[in-house]
Protein backbone atom coordinates (compact mmCIF):
# COMPACT_ATOMS: atom_id res chain seq x y z
CA UNK A 1 0.00 0.00 0.00
CA UNK A 2 1.27 3.46 -0.90
CA UNK A 3 1.81 6.14 1.71
CA UNK A 4 1.04 9.41 -0.04
CA UNK A 5 1.79 12.92 1.17
CA UNK A 6 -1.84 13.31 2.19
CA UNK A 7 -5.14 11.46 2.32
CA UNK A 8 -8.62 13.01 2.61
CA UNK A 9 -10.51 12.60 5.86
CA UNK A 10 -13.83 10.88 5.20
CA UNK A 11 -16.52 10.85 7.87
CA UNK A 12 -18.63 7.72 8.53
CA UNK A 13 -20.61 7.11 5.35
CA UNK A 14 -23.91 7.01 7.24
CA UNK A 15 -23.38 10.60 8.45
CA UNK A 16 -22.99 11.86 4.91
CA UNK A 17 -25.81 9.70 3.59
CA UNK A 18 -28.23 11.27 6.05
CA UNK A 19 -27.54 14.70 4.54
CA UNK A 20 -27.83 13.26 1.02
CA UNK A 21 -31.23 11.75 1.83
CA UNK A 22 -32.43 15.14 3.04
CA UNK A 23 -31.13 16.80 -0.15
CA UNK A 24 -33.08 14.24 -2.20
CA UNK A 25 -36.23 14.99 -0.24
CA UNK A 26 -35.87 18.77 -0.69
CA UNK A 27 -34.73 18.60 -4.34
CA UNK A 28 -32.69 21.77 -3.67
CA UNK A 29 -29.21 21.02 -5.01
CA UNK A 30 -27.49 24.38 -5.36
CA UNK A 31 -28.07 28.17 -5.43
CA UNK A 32 -27.36 28.89 -1.74
CA UNK A 33 -29.44 26.09 -0.29
CA UNK A 34 -30.05 25.43 3.41
CA UNK A 35 -26.91 23.34 3.88
CA UNK A 36 -24.68 26.02 2.34
CA UNK A 37 -26.20 28.56 4.71
CA UNK A 38 -25.82 26.21 7.68
CA UNK A 39 -22.19 25.54 6.79
CA UNK A 40 -21.40 29.25 6.55
CA UNK A 41 -23.00 29.90 9.93
CA UNK A 42 -21.19 27.03 11.63
CA UNK A 43 -17.85 27.97 10.09
CA UNK A 44 -18.22 31.57 11.28
CA UNK A 45 -19.02 30.28 14.74
CA UNK A 46 -16.12 27.81 14.83
CA UNK A 47 -13.62 30.32 13.45
CA UNK A 48 -14.90 33.34 15.39
CA UNK A 49 -15.65 35.39 12.27
CA UNK A 50 -18.37 37.88 11.39
CA UNK A 51 -18.45 37.24 7.66
CA UNK A 52 -17.63 34.25 5.42
CA UNK A 53 -18.86 33.16 1.99
CA UNK A 54 -18.60 29.54 0.81
CA UNK A 55 -17.39 29.37 -2.81
CA UNK A 56 -16.57 26.80 -5.47
CA UNK A 57 -12.84 26.52 -4.75
CA UNK A 58 -9.83 28.38 -3.42
CA UNK A 59 -8.75 29.65 -6.83
CA UNK A 60 -12.12 31.26 -7.55
CA UNK A 61 -11.86 32.76 -4.06
CA UNK A 62 -8.61 34.49 -5.02
CA UNK A 63 -9.99 35.69 -8.34
CA UNK A 64 -13.13 37.11 -6.74
CA UNK A 65 -11.02 38.82 -4.06
CA UNK A 66 -8.84 40.55 -6.65
CA UNK A 67 -11.89 41.60 -8.65
CA UNK A 68 -13.86 42.78 -5.61
CA UNK A 69 -11.04 45.12 -4.56
CA UNK A 70 -10.84 46.43 -8.14
CA UNK A 71 -7.11 45.85 -8.26
CA UNK A 72 -5.07 47.04 -11.21
CA UNK A 73 -1.41 47.09 -12.16
CA UNK A 74 1.11 45.33 -9.93
CA UNK A 75 0.42 43.04 -6.99
CA UNK A 76 3.38 42.16 -4.79
CA UNK A 77 3.31 38.49 -3.93
CA UNK A 78 5.39 35.52 -2.85
CA UNK A 79 7.30 33.15 -5.12
CA UNK A 80 6.88 30.39 -2.51
CA UNK A 81 3.29 29.23 -2.78
CA UNK A 82 1.03 27.07 -4.93
CA UNK A 83 0.70 28.12 -8.56
CA UNK A 84 -2.88 29.39 -8.07
CA UNK A 85 -1.59 32.32 -6.01
CA UNK A 86 0.28 33.67 -9.03
CA UNK A 87 -2.02 32.46 -11.81
CA UNK A 88 -5.02 34.20 -10.21
CA UNK A 89 -3.18 37.53 -10.38
CA UNK A 90 -2.38 37.05 -14.06
CA UNK A 91 -5.90 35.72 -14.79
CA UNK A 92 -7.31 39.00 -13.45
CA UNK A 93 -5.01 41.01 -15.74
CA UNK A 94 -2.69 42.17 -12.99
CA UNK A 95 1.08 41.79 -12.83
CA UNK A 96 2.66 39.59 -10.12
CA UNK A 97 5.79 41.15 -8.63
CA UNK A 98 7.84 38.74 -6.56
CA UNK A 99 9.26 39.62 -3.15
CA UNK A 100 11.66 37.12 -1.58
CA UNK A 101 10.81 35.14 1.52
CA UNK A 102 11.98 35.03 5.12
CA UNK A 103 14.47 32.15 5.56
CA UNK A 104 12.89 31.16 8.88
CA UNK A 105 9.12 31.27 8.31
CA UNK A 106 9.21 30.77 4.49
CA UNK A 107 6.58 33.52 4.24
CA UNK A 108 7.00 36.70 2.23
CA UNK A 109 9.57 39.01 3.86
CA UNK A 110 8.02 42.41 4.71
CA UNK A 111 11.37 44.14 4.17
CA UNK A 112 11.44 42.79 0.61
CA UNK A 113 7.86 43.99 0.02
CA UNK A 114 8.83 47.60 0.64
CA UNK A 115 11.70 47.27 -1.85
CA UNK A 116 9.28 46.25 -4.65
CA UNK A 117 6.63 48.96 -4.28
CA UNK A 118 6.23 51.30 -7.26
CA UNK A 119 3.63 53.83 -8.39
CA UNK A 120 1.89 50.91 -10.14
CA UNK A 121 1.49 48.78 -7.01
CA UNK A 122 -2.11 48.26 -5.90
CA UNK A 123 -1.92 45.41 -3.37
CA UNK A 124 -0.01 42.76 -1.48
CA UNK A 125 -1.06 39.14 -1.86
CA UNK A 126 0.72 37.04 0.77
CA UNK A 127 0.42 33.34 1.59
CA UNK A 128 0.41 31.90 5.11
CA UNK A 129 2.72 29.12 3.95
CA UNK A 130 1.97 25.70 5.50
CA UNK A 131 -0.44 27.52 7.83
CA UNK A 132 2.38 29.55 9.44
CA UNK A 133 1.28 33.17 10.03
CA UNK A 134 2.77 35.92 7.92
CA UNK A 135 4.09 38.96 9.78
CA UNK A 136 0.64 40.52 9.61
CA UNK A 137 1.52 43.59 11.72
CA UNK A 138 4.42 44.64 9.49
CA UNK A 139 2.48 43.95 6.32
CA UNK A 140 -0.45 46.02 7.61
CA UNK A 141 1.85 48.95 8.43
CA UNK A 142 3.40 48.81 4.94
CA UNK A 143 -0.04 48.68 3.34
CA UNK A 144 -1.24 51.70 5.32
CA UNK A 145 1.89 53.71 4.51
CA UNK A 146 1.49 53.12 0.79
CA UNK A 147 -2.32 52.92 0.57
CA UNK A 148 -2.32 49.30 -0.59
CA UNK A 149 -4.90 46.55 -0.24
CA UNK A 150 -3.95 43.25 1.43
CA UNK A 151 -5.18 39.80 0.44
CA UNK A 152 -4.04 36.73 2.34
CA UNK A 153 -4.00 33.38 0.59
CA UNK A 154 -4.89 31.36 3.67
CA UNK A 155 -5.43 28.06 1.86
CA UNK A 156 -3.33 26.25 4.49
CA UNK A 157 -4.45 28.22 7.51
CA UNK A 158 -7.75 26.68 8.65
CA UNK A 159 -7.52 26.31 12.43
CA UNK A 160 -4.35 28.36 12.93
CA UNK A 161 -4.80 31.34 15.23
CA UNK A 162 -2.57 34.34 15.88
CA UNK A 163 -3.08 36.45 19.01
CA UNK A 164 -6.27 34.52 19.60
CA UNK A 165 -7.80 35.24 16.18
CA UNK A 166 -8.21 33.07 13.11
CA UNK A 167 -5.69 33.91 10.40
CA UNK A 168 -8.75 34.47 8.19
CA UNK A 169 -9.44 37.64 10.19
CA UNK A 170 -6.44 39.55 8.80
CA UNK A 171 -6.17 41.63 5.62
CA UNK A 172 -8.85 43.28 3.55
CA UNK A 173 -9.81 39.82 2.30
CA UNK A 174 -8.57 36.35 3.20
CA UNK A 175 -9.21 33.40 0.95
CA UNK A 176 -9.01 29.71 1.71
CA UNK A 177 -9.34 26.30 0.09
CA UNK A 178 -11.53 23.42 1.21
CA UNK A 179 -10.04 21.03 -1.34
CA UNK A 180 -10.00 17.33 -0.45
CA UNK A 181 -6.29 17.51 0.45
CA UNK A 182 -6.87 20.10 3.19
CA UNK A 183 -7.34 19.23 6.87
CA UNK A 184 -10.89 20.60 6.62
CA UNK A 185 -12.49 19.92 3.26
CA UNK A 186 -15.77 19.98 1.36
CA UNK A 187 -14.38 17.75 -1.43
CA UNK A 188 -13.97 20.85 -3.61
CA UNK A 189 -14.57 24.28 -2.18
CA UNK A 190 -13.21 27.38 -0.57
CA UNK A 191 -14.19 30.61 1.11
CA UNK A 192 -13.70 34.36 1.01
CA UNK A 193 -13.54 36.21 4.31
CA UNK A 194 -13.59 39.92 5.07
CA UNK A 195 -14.13 42.03 8.16
CA UNK A 196 -15.68 44.82 6.06
CA UNK A 197 -19.46 44.68 5.39
CA UNK A 198 -19.18 46.83 2.27
CA UNK A 199 -16.62 44.44 0.74
CA UNK A 200 -18.81 41.50 1.75
CA UNK A 201 -21.69 42.87 -0.34
CA UNK A 202 -19.45 43.08 -3.40
CA UNK A 203 -18.10 39.57 -2.82
CA UNK A 204 -21.60 38.16 -2.44
CA UNK A 205 -22.77 39.76 -5.70
CA UNK A 206 -19.70 38.60 -7.61
CA UNK A 207 -20.09 35.03 -6.32
CA UNK A 208 -23.57 34.87 -7.90
CA UNK A 209 -23.24 36.38 -11.41
CA UNK A 210 -23.75 39.93 -10.07
CA UNK A 211 -27.36 39.28 -9.01
CA UNK A 212 -28.94 41.78 -6.62
CA UNK A 213 -32.40 40.32 -7.32
CA UNK A 214 -33.71 37.62 -9.66
CA UNK A 215 -34.02 40.20 -12.46
CA UNK A 216 -31.39 42.82 -11.58
CA UNK A 217 -27.59 42.81 -11.76
CA UNK A 218 -24.89 45.11 -10.44
CA UNK A 219 -21.51 44.72 -12.07
CA UNK A 220 -19.69 41.72 -13.49
CA UNK A 221 -20.01 38.46 -11.59
CA UNK A 222 -19.08 34.83 -11.91
CA UNK A 223 -20.59 31.51 -10.90
CA UNK A 224 -18.59 31.03 -7.72
CA UNK A 225 -21.31 29.21 -5.78
CA UNK A 226 -21.04 25.73 -4.30
CA UNK A 227 -23.54 22.89 -3.94
CA UNK A 228 -25.53 21.25 -1.17
CA UNK A 229 -23.54 18.04 -1.61
CA UNK A 230 -20.25 19.82 -0.95
CA UNK A 231 -21.73 21.67 2.01
CA UNK A 232 -22.93 18.34 3.42
CA UNK A 233 -19.38 17.00 3.43
CA UNK A 234 -18.21 20.15 5.19
CA UNK A 235 -20.89 19.83 7.86
CA UNK A 236 -19.91 16.21 8.46
CA UNK A 237 -16.22 17.05 8.71
CA UNK A 238 -16.83 19.95 11.08
CA UNK A 239 -18.10 17.41 13.61
CA UNK A 240 -14.70 15.69 13.54
CA UNK A 241 -12.43 18.77 13.54
CA UNK A 242 -11.16 18.43 17.09
CA UNK A 243 -10.22 14.81 16.39
CA UNK A 244 -8.51 15.75 13.09
CA UNK A 245 -6.49 18.60 14.62
CA UNK A 246 -5.41 16.53 17.62
CA UNK A 247 -4.36 13.64 15.38
CA UNK A 248 -2.21 15.89 13.21
CA UNK A 249 -0.60 17.47 16.26
CA UNK A 250 0.24 14.06 17.75
CA UNK A 251 1.64 12.74 14.47
CA UNK A 252 3.76 15.88 13.99
CA UNK A 253 5.20 15.44 17.47
CA UNK A 254 6.14 11.86 16.51
CA UNK A 255 8.03 13.20 13.50
CA UNK A 256 9.70 15.80 15.73
CA UNK A 257 10.96 13.12 18.11
CA UNK A 258 12.27 10.93 15.30
CA UNK A 259 14.00 13.69 13.35
CA UNK A 260 15.41 15.83 16.17
CA UNK A 261 18.99 14.61 15.64
CA UNK A 262 18.98 15.35 11.91
CA UNK A 263 20.27 18.56 10.30
CA UNK A 264 16.86 19.61 8.96
CA UNK A 265 15.10 22.94 9.24
CA UNK A 266 11.44 23.43 10.14
CA UNK A 267 9.37 26.61 9.71
CA UNK A 268 9.63 28.94 12.69
CA UNK A 269 6.32 29.90 14.26
CA UNK A 270 5.80 33.34 15.79
CA UNK A 271 4.88 33.83 19.43
CA UNK A 272 1.16 33.85 20.26
CA UNK A 273 0.40 31.31 17.52
CA UNK A 274 -1.72 28.18 17.83
CA UNK A 275 -0.72 26.05 14.84
CA UNK A 276 -2.94 23.70 12.83
CA UNK A 277 -0.23 21.21 11.70
CA UNK A 278 -1.52 21.40 8.14
CA UNK A 279 1.73 19.99 6.71
CA UNK A 280 5.04 18.56 7.87
CA UNK A 281 7.73 20.30 5.78
CA UNK A 282 11.44 19.71 6.32
CA UNK A 283 14.32 21.54 4.63
CA UNK A 284 17.42 19.45 4.09
CA UNK A 285 20.99 20.72 3.95
CA UNK A 286 21.17 20.40 0.17
CA UNK A 287 19.08 19.54 -2.86
CA UNK A 288 21.21 16.42 -3.25
CA UNK A 289 20.14 15.24 0.22
CA UNK A 290 16.53 16.07 -0.60
CA UNK A 291 16.61 13.99 -3.78
CA UNK A 292 18.31 11.11 -1.99
CA UNK A 293 15.54 11.04 0.61
CA UNK A 294 12.84 11.16 -2.07
CA UNK A 295 14.45 8.24 -3.90
CA UNK A 296 14.76 6.16 -0.73
CA UNK A 297 11.15 6.81 0.27
CA UNK A 298 9.76 6.15 -3.22
CA UNK A 299 11.51 2.76 -3.28
CA UNK A 300 9.39 1.84 -0.25
CA UNK A 301 6.14 3.21 -1.73
CA UNK A 302 6.26 6.43 0.29
CA UNK A 303 5.49 9.52 -1.76
CA UNK A 304 6.32 12.88 -0.14
CA UNK A 305 6.02 16.08 -2.18
CA UNK A 306 8.39 18.87 -3.14
CA UNK A 307 5.94 21.46 -1.95
CA UNK A 308 6.63 24.18 -3.18
CA UNK A 309 8.89 23.56 -6.14
CA UNK A 310 9.82 25.23 -8.39
CA UNK A 311 9.78 28.88 -7.37
CA UNK A 312 6.82 30.68 -8.92
CA UNK A 313 9.17 33.29 -10.34
CA UNK A 314 10.22 30.65 -12.88
CA UNK A 315 6.72 30.37 -14.41
CA UNK A 316 6.70 31.25 -18.10
CA UNK A 317 3.92 33.83 -17.69
CA UNK A 318 5.64 35.76 -14.89
CA UNK A 319 7.37 38.74 -16.48
CA UNK A 320 9.07 39.97 -13.30
CA UNK A 321 12.37 38.11 -13.18
CA UNK A 322 13.86 39.86 -10.14
CA UNK A 323 16.03 37.28 -8.34
CA UNK A 324 14.57 35.63 -5.23
CA UNK A 325 17.60 33.65 -4.04
CA UNK A 326 16.22 32.67 -0.61
CA UNK A 327 13.06 31.23 -2.13
CA UNK A 328 15.00 29.42 -4.86
CA UNK A 329 17.28 27.88 -2.25
CA UNK A 330 14.48 26.78 0.10
CA UNK A 331 12.36 25.46 -2.79
CA UNK A 332 15.20 23.22 -3.93
CA UNK A 333 15.64 21.68 -0.46
CA UNK A 334 12.13 21.48 1.00
CA UNK A 335 10.06 18.31 1.24
CA UNK A 336 6.61 17.76 2.75
CA UNK A 337 6.44 14.38 4.47
CA UNK A 338 3.22 12.35 4.64
CA UNK A 339 0.77 13.69 7.19
CA UNK A 340 -2.90 12.73 7.50
CA UNK A 341 -5.32 11.64 10.20
CA UNK A 342 -4.98 7.87 9.70
CA UNK A 343 -1.20 7.74 9.39
CA UNK A 344 0.21 5.43 12.06
CA UNK A 345 3.17 5.84 14.41
CA UNK A 346 4.66 2.70 12.82
CA UNK A 347 4.50 4.29 9.37
CA UNK A 348 6.08 7.50 10.64
CA UNK A 349 8.84 5.52 12.36
CA UNK A 350 9.52 3.65 9.12
CA UNK A 351 9.63 6.90 7.11
CA UNK A 352 12.06 8.41 9.58
CA UNK A 353 14.31 5.33 9.58
CA UNK A 354 14.55 5.60 5.80
CA UNK A 355 15.43 9.30 6.06
CA UNK A 356 18.13 8.58 8.66
CA UNK A 357 19.51 5.80 6.49
CA UNK A 358 19.59 7.86 3.30
CA UNK A 359 21.34 10.74 5.11
CA UNK A 360 23.67 8.31 6.92
CA UNK A 361 22.81 9.63 10.38
Scored b (16 or more CB within 10 A) or e, 308-327 reads bbebbbeeeebebeeebebb
Could you give the CA distance from residue 75 to residue 153 in angstroms, rounded to a whole number? Answer: 13
User: Taking the domain 241-359, which CATH number applies?
Assistant: 3.90.1150.10
- Specify whether the CB–CB gap between 189 and 178 falls below 8 A: yes
**How many angstroms separate the Cα of 296 from the Cα of each of 1, 104, 349, 354, 356?**
16, 27, 14, 7, 10
149-159 pLDDT tens trace: 999 999 999 99
Cα angle for residues 74, 151, 182 (degrees, 5° grid): 125
Could you give the CA distance from residue 100 to residue 244 in angstroms, rounded to a whole number? Answer: 33
Sequence-distant (6+) residues with CB within 8 A of 247 are 341
Backbone angles phi, psi at 307, to 5 degrees: -125, 95
Q: What is the pLDDT of residue 2?
A: 96
Q: What residue ranges do the domains of the chain occupy?
A: 13-238, 241-359
Could you give the CA distance from residue 35 to residue 28 in angstroms, rounded to a whole number? Answer: 10
Task: Tell me if the pTM is above 0.85.
Answer: yes
pLDDT(361) > 80? no
84-112 pLDDT tens trace: 999 999 999 999 999 999 999 999 999 99
User: Do 241-359 and 13-238 have the same topology in CATH?
Assistant: no
DSSP per position, 188-248: S-EEEE-S-HHHHHHHHHHHBTTEEETTEE-S---B----HHHHHHHHHHHTTHHHHHHHH
Q: What is the pLDDT of residue 306?
A: 98
167-222 pLDDT tens trace: 999 999 999 999 999 999 999 999 999 999 999 999 999 999 999 889 999 999 99
Other Cβ atoms closer than 10 A to 5: 19
Going by pLDDT thresholds of 50, 70 and 90, the confidence category of residue 80 is very high
254-290 pLDDT tens trace: 999 999 999 999 999 999 999 999 999 999 999 999 9
Could you give the CA distance from residue 193 to residue 166 in angstroms, rounded to a whole number? Answer: 11
Rg (CA), the chain: 21
Domain spanning 13-238: which CATH class is it, in words?
alpha beta
Average pLDDT of the chain is 97
Amino acid sequence: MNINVTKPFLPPQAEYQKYVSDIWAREWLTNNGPLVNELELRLKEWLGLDHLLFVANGTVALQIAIKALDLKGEIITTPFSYVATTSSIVWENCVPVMADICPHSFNIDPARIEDRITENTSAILATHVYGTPCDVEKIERIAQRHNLKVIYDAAHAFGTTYRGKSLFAFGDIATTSFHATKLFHTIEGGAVVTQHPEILKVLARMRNFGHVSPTAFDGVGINGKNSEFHAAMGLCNLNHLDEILQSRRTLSERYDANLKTLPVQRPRLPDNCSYNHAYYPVVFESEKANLAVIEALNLHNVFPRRYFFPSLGSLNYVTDKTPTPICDDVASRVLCLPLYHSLSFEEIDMICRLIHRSLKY
